[in-house]
Structure 1
């Protein structure tokens, strides 16, 4: 990106919680923590001090299908960034004492997620959506599943998870291509591939989860089975989701909050996995009005699916999605993360112009088609966390949705 004084490095691997057995639940996330406790000739403090001494920052994230390490730095810092991340993924110390200490840290993270209603309710819905499958287990795992982890087991998992044949090195910003290729060969070129088992196929199951708590507000999540990351209709689905609940002009915000005052926060979101996906709705509402809210949310889904959007809604949603696309193009970190993900998902890069073209090409009929596919199964994964008065919200959403199926 000409004219920039900074760069962004992303090292991403096609691997994460989806590849874990039930007994290994949370190991990928624990490993991501552990590598920062020491790698190569660096201790925990050395890792961050070396990056920050160059004006940079470093972070990592573990998901169901990808694990990534990210460095933002000033120009000229690529050699250091590549060396540090290479040490993290290939040469972590994995000290036994640090492993036990970090288990306690992750246990606190698990407890924090449980204590945060608008976090835990998503875990509840995910578990209902993919019951008994890796996609239905929390990425953090559990205290019980982390208990048996020792140096030998986590090192074996590291070798499988961070296998170079499933890894992408992506850099954007102030970067020289020849330097990048030479550094990639130096720091990643001699890594040994470890064959991994295929991820277990995912099947949307659905169901209703309820957890009563003495809190002021009910937190509700409604999820429906949807398209995979490689489905050619995905642009149409993103537009559908944007119109449904993507912003303040969306149908859900206008009907649930502005017109009827049922919720302070309400929005729709979309997640695409390798062979399946979900469209979900989150809302926080008064417990005694949660059933009414659930029925309204399902009614809006069915109405949009059956009638399609107005021309004005479609035009506005296209502008929003393209605006986000072009804005992310101006961020080195967004670019590096996006091209890494595209390489892992599609095996090639997809230009922003091509993505914008797909958005522009979507029609009202296309959105109606993906919407009808969304409601056709008549199933949902619902979660309600809060006062008992809200317990019926999940069943109300599914019942109303089924009438439109």
Structure 2
């Protein structure tokens, strides 16, 4: 069956994507706003608000919210990103109305009690501390700062102790109205759903939600680049390198995905074979496309012994340079097959499929059939990958983050010099 996109009179968009044969459904209500829309004083508020709405909403307590869903065989969750905030319910067939009602309460009628807020600030403070204590998490906060500087995407989604502590019930209520306004909301359901039932439920839940001007759309982040390094007594050093690339709306998006796949997307990738299999430098090493609507980057992560950090950095830079210069036909074909497999496998999971539909609508105001996406992947040529490669190196510098023993801290400089010393 074909997925459909409809729009309520107030601008709420509704995606219905039935999956015949399923006895379960996935419902995602996604707001096209997140941490990227926060000014410095409100850093972390989108994530804090996501926590707070689960403390009580409508006529339900925090316990009631989860019990009413779980008693019907379902589960409920939420996630805050830089460009969107998502509320998700998995349910048995027939659970759509209940899931929609609960999510609507969370978005529209949260209690936002001052005593709950005081307690939740402590919880989020522990979450911030936990992330700082986890080196393979914290190093990615460092690379965000190195890559995007003072732009909101350069700050942690969790915010800081100071900005979280500054939030008040009144301020969070205003932030909620801006974040979850009708014109930036997508209701997306997959699995055992019917369009008439979904449209009726969406209209009841969100049909009278006002469109609020809210916050101004931030400018696309400009790649800053430069080093971030912190010494810690760790058994392993953590390295992340980033090069400026393109966003999800860019013509080179799929070329970037293919470049990342060939470079470090799996066990047959260049980085895995060279750094791990041939040299034994790293157990974990991979490359990835870190993309937003209008900007993005190519990322590389490696975990290695401190004594191997500089050499690992040089290998990473060398493999980027080689791939910019040439990609062979077999690699290109393999990367295309892997990328299509990832996309199609995700579509076999109802929640991933619901999120994918909402993401397409928020980015492009339309849905893409799987065959269209596969055609986009298949259309990428070696020349497209080469053009993308030139974009990666055009700025003449990288963003680097290193966390580990002092002997590893020169790895960022080694990556940058290896890649750009001839420029």
TM-score by length of 1: 0.98
Q: What's the secondary structure of 2:178's corresponding residue?
A: helix
- Show the counterpart of 1:215: 234
Kept after mapping to 2: 8 A contact 1:222/1:282: yes
The residue correspondences of 1:261-340 to structure 2 (distance < 5 A) are: 261-307=280-326, 309-340=327-358
Q: Quick one: distance in 1 between partners of 2:364 and 2:134?
A: 35
2:65 to 20, 41, 47: 47
Pair 1:232 & 2:246 matched: no
Pair 1:92 & 2:98 matched: no
Pair 1:376 & 2:394 matched: yes
- Show the counterpart of 2:174: 156
The residue correspondences of 1:133-144 to structure 2 (distance < 5 A) are: 133-144=151-162
- Show the counterpart of 1:200: 219
CA drift at 1:232: 1.9
- Show the counterpart of 2:12: none
Q: What's the secondary structure of 1:94's corresponding residue?
A: coil
Pair 1:391 & 2:409 matched: yes
- Show the counterpart of 2:39: 21
CA drift at 1:404: 6.0
- Show the counterpart of 2:8: none
2:273 to 235, 246, 254: 254
Deviation string, structure 1 residues 292-318 (Cα, Å, up to 9, x no partner): 1101101100110112x1111111111
- Show the counterpart of 2:360: 342
RMSD of aligned residue pairs (Cα, Å): 0.9
Moved over 6 A (4+): none
Pair 1:245 & 2:273 matched: no
Q: Quick one: distance in 2 between partners of 1:186 and 1:391?
A: 56
Q: Quick one: distance in 2 between partners of 1:358 and 1:182?
A: 35
1:75 to 78, 90, 93: 93
Q: What's the secondary structure of 2:29's corresponding residue?
A: strand
CA drift at 1:288: 1.3
Q: What's the secondary structure of 1:73's corresponding residue?
A: strand
- Show the counterpart of 1:62: 80
Q: Quick one: distance in 2 between partners of 1:285 and 1:258?
A: 14
TM-score by length of 2: 0.94
1:111 to 108, 120, 129: 129
Kept after mapping to 1: 8 A contact 2:220/2:295: no
Deviation string, structure 1 residues 235-264 (Cα, Å, up to 9, x no partner): 111011000000110000000000011111
Against the structure 1 CA distance between its residues 3 and 404, is the aligned structure 2 distance closer, same or farther, given a 3 Å change threshold?
Answer: farther
Deviation string, structure 1 residues 182-210 (Cα, Å, up to 9, x no partner): 11110001111210211233111011011
Q: What's the secondary structure of 2:361's corresponding residue?
A: helix
Kept after mapping to 2: 8 A contact 1:19/1:200: no
Kept after mapping to 2: 8 A contact 1:18/1:200: no
Farther off after superposition, 357-366 or 276-285: 357-366
- Show the counterpart of 2:197: 179
CA drift at 1:355: 0.4
Deviation string, structure 1 residues 161-197 (Cα, Å, up to 9, x no partner): 1111100000000001001101111000111121021
Kept after mapping to 1: 8 A contact 2:264/2:286: yes
Q: Quick one: distance in 2 between partners of 1:60 and 1:269?
A: 24
CA drift at 1:403: 3.5
Pair 1:123 & 2:141 matched: yes
Deviation string, structure 1 residues 136-172 (Cα, Å, up to 9, x no partner): 0100000100112111011010001111110000000
Across the two proteins, how many residue pairs are aligned to each other? 404
CA drift at 1:105: 0.2
Q: Quick one: distance in 2 between partners of 1:210 and 1:237?
A: 27
Q: Quick one: distance in 1 between partners of 2:141 and 2:74?
A: 33
